[in-house]
Amino acid sequence: MASGIVFKKKNPKTGRESKYYTIKYDIGRDPETNKRRQKEESGFKTKKEAQFALNERLNQLQKGTYIVPSDLTFGQYLEEWFTDYVEINLTPNTQDNYRSIKKEFQQKMGHILLRELKPHHFKKMYADLVREGRLSKRTIANNHTIIKSALNRAFTEEIIYRNPLDLVKPPKWEKVEPKYLNAEQTKLLLEMIKGYKYYKYALILYGTGARRGEALALRISRDIDFENGVVQFRESLSNPRGKGFVFGPTKGKRVRTVHVGPLILKALKELKEERLRDRKKALRTGAPYDASLDLLFARPDGSPIPLVNTEKWWRSFTERFKRLPVDHPLHGVRVHNHLIRHTISTLLLESGIDLKSLQEMLGHSSIAITGNVYAHVTERMRDGVSKEINNIMEFALAK
């Protein structure tokens, strides 16, 4: 059975005792030499604190959950996790998001030894962030989930003996229904943006439910069947900092097929003609043109359109909408790429499309995700069904 002691070290030169307590305990015998192995840990301010730590280590040794303490800091571990897991397994856009989350935790708690992380460290950080008001409670909760997953890897790899975030609850936040435009607002929006630079881009988003990166990655010859009105989303374009343009898999990591109507097909054909004109102009003037990408949406030289350009375009309309009369349906509307996706999804559900078809169109990995995101719509639809049943019953009973 493992044993240990609590004591204060003495300075060999002065003979004075340290003001901090040290614990020393047996961690078994060396498998090769059979010699006794011991471990020391110092820096405990009180004897009670040191005894608690010693009891904890001895309990771990008895249960077989003991892990040799490491001097790896939380910040260093997050750097390793990012390099060995995030950069290898996740998309460039997700990497950018995780990089900022990693940086946030490193700045606040990166100096703490990984083995000394306690639930109260995270509770204090979350409370401070809520008071600062710089991040929403929802963002803090999302970041909590990501870092908890990172620490689960440390637990699985036996770097820590337990995940402190198992005992921490992030701030509560109220789930907000996705914002979307109704049919009238949609009609007005399309009328207002008609003729502007990215009008056809907006039409493609509306007609396919595509994410912006998926739309901007479309290749004319490979992805679009102009005869049958079929679009296949195979890739997603991202533009991570310092890495240029990156074509990677879609979020669902599979090819998604969407059938489009005459209006969208007309826009697709016009975009194809625009790219052909750009290419001819480049040949005529001697300007550079990259025809190898064969992009549906491209700059005059055939190169990809930066994702941020579309958001800037939408923001310009958001500013215009602020100046509309207060009673105008689009007054104060903040329009962006994802709003279009939510809008077409909601309008389709309200028009009677089934959830499975919507899931396939949006590229969600499961129908449960689609149902969860658009629960507010299906609940309204169920209410409508129950009212209709009630009307039928009342009519029948009245006879």
All structural domains of the chain with their residue ranges: 4-63, 74-167, 183-381
Mean pLDDT, residues 381-386 taken together: 49
* Choice between 12 and 203, residue whose per-residue pLDDT is larger: 203
pLDDT of residue 108: 94
Mean pLDDT, residues 111-122 taken together: 92
- Encoded tokens for 97: 């998001």
pLDDT of residue 124: 95
* Choice between 67 and 1, residue whose per-residue pLDDT is larger: 67
pLDDT band of residue 94 (cuts 50, 70, 90) is confident
In this model, does residue 67 exceed pLDDT 80? no
Nearest to 276 by CA among 286, 285, 289, 263: 289
Point out the least confidently predicted range of 45-59, 121-135, 176-190, 366-380. Answer: 366-380
In this model, does residue 90 exceed pLDDT 90? no
Give the mean pLDDT of the chain. Answer: 87
Mean pLDDT, residues 344-361 taken together: 83
Q: Are 232 and 255 in contact (CB under 8 A)?
A: yes
pLDDT band of residue 393 (cuts 50, 70, 90) is very low
With 0-12 / 13-18 / 19 or more C-beta atoms within 10 angstroms meaning exposed / middle / buried, residue 352 is exposed
Helices (H), ranges, 286-354 = 307-322, 337-351
pLDDT single digits (tens) 315-350: 999 999 999 999 999 999 999 888 898 888 888 888
pLDDT single digits (tens) 149-192: 999 999 888 788 789 999 999 998 876 666 888 889 999 999 99
Mean pLDDT, residues 276-302 taken together: 94
* Choice between 393 and 133, residue whose per-residue pLDDT is larger: 133
> Which residue type is seen at 292?
S
pLDDT single digits (tens) 40-55: 888 888 999 999 989 9
pLDDT of residue 364: 79
pLDDT of residue 322: 92
Topology of the domain covering 183-381: hpI Integrase; Chain A (1.10.443)
pLDDT of residue 178: 65
pLDDT band of residue 392 (cuts 50, 70, 90) is very low
Top-tier CATH class for 74-167: mainly alpha
Q: Name the packing angle between helices 74-81 and 92-109 (round to 10°).
A: 170
* Partner residues linked to 236 by β-bridges: 248
Q: Is the pTM of this model over 0.75?
A: no
Angle at 367 between CA 363 and CA 368, to 5 degrees: 125
Mean pLDDT, residues 265-289 taken together: 94
Residue 120 has a CB neighbour count (10 Å cut-off) of 11
Same-fold call for 74-167 versus 183-381: no
- Encoded tokens for 87: 């950069």
In this model, does residue 388 exceed pLDDT 50? no
pLDDT band of residue 281 (cuts 50, 70, 90) is very high
Mean pLDDT, residues 21-26 taken together: 91
